[in-house]
């Protein structure tokens, strides 16, 4: 470990409660890292409006009972394939759909190499629910706003893709992932979108684009990402939000290609869209392909989306990304990282892939029953626990690594209290920051 890195390991039970620091050992450990006391200036500017906005549930309301299935589409009639979904449907030529597609049956579905099945209308869905196999051949692609599939086995060959990039429909109601104004800010979802415009009297840290949402469903994410904003009233340059991929595979999923729900690019005149959602459940996963719900780049980058992987046995390691998008207008402040939940070890990973940022990924309430095992904050992820009274409790380890930052409390509110409970706190080249008026 590099000489400059700082490792703090507290075994057993760690409880920090502020402002009453009564444990001198902890107090001095925190002295070293508790950064800027923001002083009374901040607290004056604290407004009840922004305070209340923190209490919004960042999650969509409970979904309505699912409507009955639409009639199942046919392989030959609707796709021009051969065979049928109850035995084997084979697609040899590309098809462009203009509306939702739904197939549910007991057979298998094979896309031949280079075949593209797409519906490139924002929010358009392709749902294929089979008991057999789904095979996506070399360089073939399924593209839509939502791709929802169930199968006995599934494979995505090299160069092949399930692609929902920038094809989001509407984000959940009562969320504010889409930034307002014409600053070219990034959309938010798993992390906040970046903003390169620092409002008067604020700092880069409390200027962000679209906000985060759907925290409470991060273990089974199913929300669309949000659009970035434009710099023009006339023309919309913002990148689209990332779509949704939901895959349930009873046996083996093999991913040599890519599964993506990234936000769209905004270029130099618009903010990047935020990443969407990817949920993958399978008994086994193979392949070293790419799984990504990252924010799109733009004038200001979009926030990362949400990915959850529930796989019991992993043979290779696919590369999973949920980082924020790059900000061309302020390269030091990329979009905030999204969330990756690894369901079998019950671990939450927040990584910004070493893209430096001043924009927050928010951690809200942690589940108690059961507790999560580990939380990893790393590779330049900047995480905030913004509630007035909050408790971050995990059963195992809380790790802050490679430029990770964890901030507790409300930036503009002088009184907040938090508890951090973990068996182990591991810090390396990272910071814990308390927005407090500490009385030393
Ligand atoms: C597939 O259909 C089954 C049976 O109706 C249903 O329980 C399941 O949720 C469907 N899968 C997906 C991914 O929609
Ligand atoms: C899935 O693959 C396994 C072998 O990898 C095979 O035994 C099983 O029959 C397959 N299931 C289906 C539904 O194709
Ligand atoms: C995935 O890659 C592995 C290793 O290159 C190969 O053995 C396997 O057949 C590939 N699977 C698919 C579905 O392309
Ligand atoms: C990020 O930086 C760390 C420490 O410098 C390094 O070990 C890691 O490989 C980097 N990761 C990426 C994805 O660049």
- Give the model confidence (pLDDT) of 230-267 as tens digits: 999 999 999 999 999 999 999 999 999 999 999 999 99
Q: What is the pTM of this model?
A: 0.88
Average pLDDT, the chain: 86
Asked, for residue 69, whether it belongs to a domain, the answer is: no
Residues facing 407 on adjacent strands: 384, 433
Q: How many CA atoms lie within 13 Å of 117's alpha carbon, on the beta-carbon side?
A: 28
415 pLDDT band (50/70/90 cuts)? low
Same-domain check for residues 173 and 241 = yes
pLDDT of residue 374: 96
C-beta of residue 227 within 8 angstroms of C-beta of residue 265: no
Asked, for residue 390, whether it belongs to a domain, the answer is: yes
pLDDT of residue 30: 35
Q: By C-alpha distance, which of 388, 336, 342 is closest to 362?
A: 336
Same-domain check for residues 48 and 89 = no
- Give the model confidence (pLDDT) of 190-235 as tens digits: 999 999 999 888 888 889 999 999 999 999 999 999 999 999 999 9
Asked, for residue 167, whether it belongs to a domain, the answer is: yes
pLDDT of residue 195: 98
- Give φ, ψ of 376 to 5 degrees: -115, 125
pLDDT of residue 36: 33
> Is the CB of residue 155 below 6 angstroms from any atom belonging to ligand 3?
yes
Asked, for residue 321, whether it belongs to a domain, the answer is: yes
Same-domain check for residues 171 and 28 = no
Asked, for residue 284, whether it belongs to a domain, the answer is: yes
Mutating to test ligand 1, I would choose from 101, 129, 245 the residue with most ligand atoms within 8 A of its C-beta, which is 129
> Is the CB of residue 287 below 6 angstroms from any atom belonging to ligand 3?
yes
- Give the model confidence (pLDDT) of 156-171 as tens digits: 999 999 999 999 999 9
Work out the average pLDDT over 408-431.
83
287 C-alpha vs ligand 3 centroid, how far in Å?
A: 7
CA distance linking residue 186 with residue 204, whole number of Å: 14
60 pLDDT band (50/70/90 cuts)? low
Same-domain check for residues 118 and 17 = no
Asked, for residue 70, whether it belongs to a domain, the answer is: no
Higher pLDDT among residues 273 and 59, named by residue: 273
Residue nearest to atom 12 of ligand 1 (CA): 150
Work out the average pLDDT over 83-112.
97
Mutating to test ligand 4, I would choose from 379, 403, 429 the residue with most ligand atoms within 8 A of its C-beta, which is 379
257 C-alpha vs ligand 2 centroid, how far in Å?
A: 20
| Whether residue 416 has pLDDT greater than 80 | no
Question: What is the number of residues in the chain?
Answer: 440
Work out the average pLDDT over 111-135.
98
Same-domain check for residues 10 and 154 = no
pLDDT of residue 206: 84
Work out the average pLDDT over 268-278.
98
Same-domain check for residues 149 and 218 = yes
Asked, for residue 331, whether it belongs to a domain, the answer is: yes
Q: Which of 31-35, 357-361, 382-386 has the highest mean pLDDT?
A: 357-361
Mutating to test ligand 2, I would choose from 150, 252, 284 the residue with most ligand atoms within 8 A of its C-beta, which is 252
Q: Is 379 left (phi over 0), alpha (psi -120 to 50) or beta?
A: left
Query: Residue 370, preceding bond cis, omega within 30 degrees?
Result: yes
The atom of ligand 3 lying closest to the CA of 155 is: 13
Q: Residues of the chain with pLDDT > 70: what percent?
A: 83
Structure tokens at 18: 């502020």
pLDDT of residue 3: 28
Boundaries of domain holding 323: 75-434
- Give the model confidence (pLDDT) of 317-362 as tens digits: 899 999 999 999 999 999 999 999 999 999 999 999 999 999 999 9
CA distance linking residue 66 with residue 218, whole number of Å: 20
> Is the CB of residue 254 below 6 angstroms from any atom belonging to ligand 3?
yes
Q: What angle do CA 240, 246, 251 make, to 5 degrees?
A: 150
> Is the CB of residue 353 below 6 angstroms from any atom belonging to ligand 4?
yes
Q: By C-alpha distance, which of 409, 361, 96 is closest to 208?
A: 361
pLDDT of residue 10: 30
pLDDT of residue 17: 36
Work out the average pLDDT over 92-110.
97
pLDDT of residue 387: 78
| Whether residue 117 has pLDDT greater than 80 | yes
Count up the domains in the chain and report the number.
Answer: 2
> Is the CB of residue 231 below 6 angstroms from any atom belonging to ligand 4?
no
Residue nearest to atom 13 of ligand 3 (CA): 157
CA distance linking residue 308 with residue 323, whole number of Å: 14
- Give the model confidence (pLDDT) of 42-58 as tens digits: 333 333 333 334 444 45
pLDDT of residue 434: 79
> Is the CB of residue 354 below 6 angstroms from any atom belonging to ligand 4?
yes
The atom of ligand 3 lying closest to the CA of 160 is: 14
Work out the average pLDDT over 282-296.
97
pLDDT of residue 2: 31
Asked, for residue 302, whether it belongs to a domain, the answer is: yes
**Residues in the ligand 2 pocket, defined by CB under 6 Å:** 132-133, 152-153, 251-252
Residue nearest to atom 1 of ligand 1 (CA): 129
Residue nearest to atom 10 of ligand 4 (CA): 354
Same-domain check for residues 274 and 406 = yes
127 C-alpha vs ligand 1 centroid, how far in Å?
A: 10
Same-domain check for residues 347 and 234 = yes
**Residues in the ligand 1 pocket, defined by CB under 6 Å:** 129, 148, 150, 246, 248
203 C-alpha vs ligand 2 centroid, how far in Å?
A: 56
Sequence-separated (6 or more) residues with CB below 8 Å from residue 226: 168, 171, 175, 177, 178, 187, 188, 189, 193, 210, 241, 273, 274, 302
| Whether residue 11 has pLDDT greater than 60 | no
């Amino acid at each position: 470990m590099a000489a400059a890195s700082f490792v703090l390991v507290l075994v057993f039970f760690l409880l920090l409660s502020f402002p009453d620091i009564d444990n001198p050992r902890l107090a001095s450990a925190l002295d070293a890292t508790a950064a800027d006391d923001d002083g009374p200036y901040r607290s004056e500017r604290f407004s009840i409006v922004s305070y209340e906005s923190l209490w919004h549930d960042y999650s969509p309301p409970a979904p309505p009972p699912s409507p009955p299935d639409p009639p199942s589409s046919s392989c030959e009639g609707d796709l021009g394939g051969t065979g049928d979904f109850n035995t084997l449907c084979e697609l040899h030529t590309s098809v462009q759909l203009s509306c939702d597609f739904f197939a549910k049956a007991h057979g298998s579905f094979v896309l031949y190499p280079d075949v593209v099945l797409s519906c490139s209308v924002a929010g358009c869905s392709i749902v294929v629910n089979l008991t057999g196999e789904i095979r996506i051949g070399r360089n073939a692609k399924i593209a839509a706003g939502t791709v929802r599939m169930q199968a006995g086995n599934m494979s995505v060959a090299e160069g092949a893709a399930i692609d929902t990039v920038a094809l989001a429909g509407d984000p959940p109601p009562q969320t504010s992932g889409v930034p307002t104004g014409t600053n070219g800010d990034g959309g938010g979802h798993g992390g906040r979108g970046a903003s390169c415009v620092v409002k008067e009297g604020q700092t880069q840290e409390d200027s962000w684009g679209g906000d985060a949402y759907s925290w409470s469903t991060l273990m089974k994410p199913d929300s669309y990402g949000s659009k970035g904003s434009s710099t023009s009233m006339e023309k919309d340059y913002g990148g689209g939000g990332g779509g949704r991929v939901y895959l349930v595979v009873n046996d083996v999923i093999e991913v040599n290609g890519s599964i993506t729900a990234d936000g769209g690019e905004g270029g130099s005149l618009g903010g990047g869209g935020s990443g969407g959602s990817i949920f993958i459940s399978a008994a086994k996963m193979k392949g070293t392909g790419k799984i990504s719900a990252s924010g799109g780049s733009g004038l200001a980058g979009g926030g990362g989306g949400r990915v959850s992987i529930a796989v019991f046995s992993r043979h290779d390691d696919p590369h999973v990304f949920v980082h924020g998008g790059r900000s061309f207008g302020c390269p030091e402040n990329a979009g905030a990282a999204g969330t990756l939940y690894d369901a079998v070890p019950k671990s939450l990973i927040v990584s910004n892939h070493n893209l430096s940022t001043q924009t927050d990924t928010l951690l809200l309430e942690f589940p108690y029953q059961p507790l999560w095992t580990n939380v990893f904050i790393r590779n330049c992820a900047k995480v905030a626990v913004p509630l007035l009274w909050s408790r971050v409790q995990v059963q195992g380890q809380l790790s802050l690594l490679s430029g990770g930052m964890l901030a507790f409390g409300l930036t503009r509110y002088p009184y907040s209290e938090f508890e951090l409970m973990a068996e182990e706190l591991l810090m390396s080249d990272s910071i814990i920051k308390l927005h407090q008026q500490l009385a030393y």
